[in-house]
Chain A
């Protein structure tokens, strides 16, 4: 008798009809969007804020260096002494005072530049000031050595390395960013999915234990069928929820941006000034175009297929472990000691993905971790946009499937015994003994 479809259906419907599930499904995107909107709105306010920076330059080297921009006005207080200037700035409630003390030689110039302000100043503003002063100083030193300003201008070069693979495929730095984004999203999505829905599976198994229905069910169904039914049913509910989140999030995002006129992309605006400069260098238009070609350059078919396989494999691997934990304990508080060994490899995978794959997608560390089954789904998904040879993907996937079968066997053993054990919190030693029952 195959009851799997029946169990999957019940699990799915119970999850989907659950009130808190419904509330979470529809409320989460709302909250997320609201948060993003608030952040975007606030940073817009922040950007719109006019700042006045007063400059007291006692060296006279920095004339004309500071040009007013949209948001920042520079006032020169040259001629005042330092104390007066400081008092004045405080009275005017300026953003801050840039003070360059008089120096004998250019070599100690750097030690005498100070910025006074009420609060600690924004990093991007400081970087902007520093770059301008550095440039002027460099020009000055060159001029002192007899280089004319025309020569300096003529010496400026901008190099944009044209990247091409041995097969003749062109790529750019934007490519790498796009790859990172794709890989990052895929890996992170899997990570989130495992944590959210793995927990859900665990809770629903604990619920079956505490409500004592388990023995009734288990007298009609094989434990492994019940376990797989729960995993698949809950996962389908998870996919449903995720899909609703994506669609609803997209729609809401568009609506909010149109109605409120808030540019969502400005949510990450503190570095706006730097970004603007970078964009000016390359040209915004060019960057967009590069972005589109970068996306079309991605190994999309490979990405989609690998995503499905590694996502499903990785998710099932971990969720069977969650199921085993749920079966082993009586209530949620007892799960803590068993959660750590599950979370460790997951977190490690994300760290490896974020720190190593970005730096060197095909280095030893990235490659090794993309083979180890417990980290491979996340790490491999992050690597694939950079192009991973098919044989590596296949071997990694085979290892994953092998481990998955082992963990399901392991989980089913624990599950069989655990679901009928009440009242005590098992130790690892006992779990090991259960394997032999």
Chain B
């Protein structure tokens, strides 16, 4: 059993609107799983089904091989996108209350809160009311509440929104640390750079259907176009350029480097290896820059969504 969470062709209708259409995903143990998709694609509906907030119309969700039951609430920590706290309640009381709702005893909750408050250096907020805190400060509290009961599965919906870069980084490190300690993370976001940075698996949902999923590296391999960024220096620019254009498919390039003689994106066909291209280029001019173009998560996202 390698997957912590498995959704088997889950469907959900709201009246006549089909919010999810037979979506299946498998989240491996210890992975950071990016759940991607444009606005309104159905990500939040899927997350709510995993959290048992809404029930699926068809399909099933398994956690550790078992059908989801109310007891599994303890195993999941969820930081929703629409999040807030009781404004007029004190930070400490509020955290204790939410922790107890997750099944922790009061004393256990206190100990763990102390640990986290010290770690994030927010110990002196205990008796403050939420309305006295800034948005970013309140987000820290929400993060603590989400992870406090040491769930197996953490679900973060846009976790970095509202954080300044320093705190966003802090939270990112905490997420990675939690993964090190054995937690599995589902991560829903529109910020592709953090997908790139954190996720090892992704699934892309578009118009209620899953249109892509798998290991991020596999997907990138699948999406690569055998294109190379090439930067050359030569005294005879026109000649070199026309020679390359005659042999390969060439597109203009916009990468940055120190020399600006010739910048190209060169696409090779499948029978040609990168070495073949490189030896061809070295024979014509001095090579300063030679990088395979790897599609970014953002490219994959845009391309896939457009094609569907």
Contacts and interface: CB of A to CB of B under 8 A. Distances in A.
A293 to B, nearest CB: 52
A433 interface: yes
Interface in B45-100: 48, 51-54, 70-71, 73-74, 76, 78-80, 82-89, 97-98, 100
B101 interface: yes
A155 interface: no
Contact of B86 (A213, A221, A436): A213
Nearest to B85: A213
B40 interface: no
B302 to A, nearest CB: 27
A406 to B, nearest CB: 21
A191 B15 CA distance: 37
Given A1-B71, A433-B15, A216 B53 contact: no
A437 B78 contact: no
A420 B48 CA distance: 10
B14 A437 contact: yes
Interface residues of B, number: 31
B145 interface: yes
Given A3-B101, A420-B53, A212 B84 contact: yes
A3 B53 CA distance: 16
A398 interface: no
B179 to A, nearest CB: 21
Nearest to B155: A219
Interface in A213-233: 213, 215-222
B103 interface: yes
A34 B38 CA distance: 62
B100 A212 contact: no
Contacts of A221: 101
B189 interface: no
Interface string B208-235: 0000000000000000000000000000
A216 B98 contact: yes
A10 interface: yes
The main secondary structure of chain A at its interface with chain B is loop
A216 B103 CA distance: 14
A14 B80 contact: no
Nearest to A422: B82
A211 B84 CA distance: 5
A216 B80 contact: yes
A217 B85 CA distance: 9
A213 B138 CA distance: 11
B102 interface: yes
A6 interface: yes
B142 interface: yes
Interface string A146-168: 00000000000000000000000
Interface string B4-34: 0000000000110000000000000000000
Interface string A191-227: 0000000000000000110011101111111100000
B161 to A, nearest CB: 12
Nearest to A14: B89
Contacts of A217: 98, 101
B100 A6 contact: yes
A208 B97 CA distance: 15
Contact of B51 (A18, A213, A219): A219
A217 B80 CA distance: 10
B88 A18 contact: yes
Contact of B78 (A208, A219, A433): A219
B95 to A, nearest CB: 11
Contacts of B79: 216
A412 to B, nearest CB: 14
A9 to B, nearest CB: 9
Interface centre among A213, A433, A437 (most CB of B within 10 A): A213
B110 to A, nearest CB: 15
Query: Nearest 3 CB-CB pairs, A to B?
Result: A212-B84, A215-B80, A220-B101
10 contacts: A1-B73, A3-B101, A207-B86, A211-B85, A211-B86, A212-B83, A212-B84, A216-B79, A220-B73, A437-B54
